[in-house]
């Protein structure tokens, strides 16, 4: 299994705001307590108890899915997202998150693309969803299509470091090393402590050094 991109799957109980019974309130409070203590399996059990009382709470199903992702129960997470979307099919964030799990954990790229497209139909100016669609397209080997999406995401948010980095990877795959380096430099400038971005920048530098046609000066390494 691949590691889920940490961009958007943060757990949040803020989604859950229905009128509830005293018992339901107890299980919700216990979910939050166990989660904050790092007891994710217990929090999942608590949330299951809550959902047995409030099964039409779409936000709770989303929180359930995010907990299942933390526990690497990815197929179950998709089922929970599906439950949420049966209740509220216009939740762009749920469609988006579902697509990320399908792509980054389960490698079901066609289904992932369809899910993120549903998110973008609802919110076409969501830079994160555009980035995630670009990520899926790269996984499918569709680098030119990915670049178009990443450019849109960057146009919406020029400080979106992950989008600059992903754009650099697409360019690097196409041997467009000079532009790739510029993207990685932008990403590292925005997040100078990000080791992944720095490693990618170094790979672009190495690729440029291997290209005898480019007349560029590089700093001495020692």
Tens of pLDDT, residues 120-153: 999 999 999 999 999 999 999 999 999 999 999 9
Query: Residue 4 gets which letter from DSSP?
Result: P
- What are the C-alpha distances in Å from 12 to residues 16, 17, 25, 26, 70? 8, 11, 16, 17, 13
Cα–Cα–Cα angle for 195, 182, 140, nearest 5°? Answer: 75
Q: Stretch 105-132: mean pLDDT, rounded?
A: 97
CA separation for the pair 82, 76 (Å, rounded): 10
CB-CB contact of 90 with 2 (8 Å) = no
Question: What pLDDT, on a 0 to 100 scale, did the predictor assign at position 195?
Answer: 95
pTM: 0.84
Report the pLDDT value the prediction gives residue 206, as an integer from 0 to 100.
92
Domain boundaries, the chain: 158-222
Between 155 and 14, where is the model more confident? Answer: 155
pLDDT of residue 220: 37
pLDDT tens-digit series, residues 18-44: 555 678 888 888 888 888 888 999 999
- Ramachandran region, residue 57 (left: φ > 0; alpha: ψ -120 to 50; beta: rest): beta
Residue 62, classed as helix, strand or coil, is: helix
pLDDT tier, 17 (very low <50, low <70, confident <90, very high otherwise) = very low
Task: Using the predicted structure, report yes or no on whether residue 118 has a pLDDT greater than 80.
Answer: yes
């Amino acid at each position: 299994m691949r590691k889920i991109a940490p961009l958007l799957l943060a757990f949040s109980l803020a989604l859950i705001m229905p009128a509830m019974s005293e018992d339901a309130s107890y299980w919700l409070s216990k979910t939050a307590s166990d989660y904050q203590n790092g007891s994710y399996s217990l929090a999942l059990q608590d949330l299951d108890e809550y959902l047995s009382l409030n099964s039409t709470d779409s936000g709770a199903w989303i929180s359930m899915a995010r907990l299942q992702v933390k526990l690497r129960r990815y197929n179950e997470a998709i089922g929970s997202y599906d439950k949420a979307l049966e209740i509220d099919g216009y939740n762009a964030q749920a469609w988006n998150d579902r697509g990320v799990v399908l792509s980054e954990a389960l490698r079901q790229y066609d289904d992932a693309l369809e899910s993120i497209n549903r998110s973008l139909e609802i919110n076409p100016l969501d830079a994160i969803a555009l980035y995630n669609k670009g990520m899926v397209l790269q996984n499918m080997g569709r680098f030119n299509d990915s670049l178009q999406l990443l450019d849109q995401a960057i146009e919406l948010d020029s400080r979106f470091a992950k989008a600059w980095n992903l754009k650099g990877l697409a360019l690097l795959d196409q041997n467009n090393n000079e532009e790739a380096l510029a993207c990685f430099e932008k990403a590292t400038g925005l997040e100078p402590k990000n080791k992944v971005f720095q490693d990618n920048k170094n790979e672009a530098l190495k690729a440029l050094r291997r290209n005898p046609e480019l007349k560029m000066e590089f700093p001495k390494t020692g």
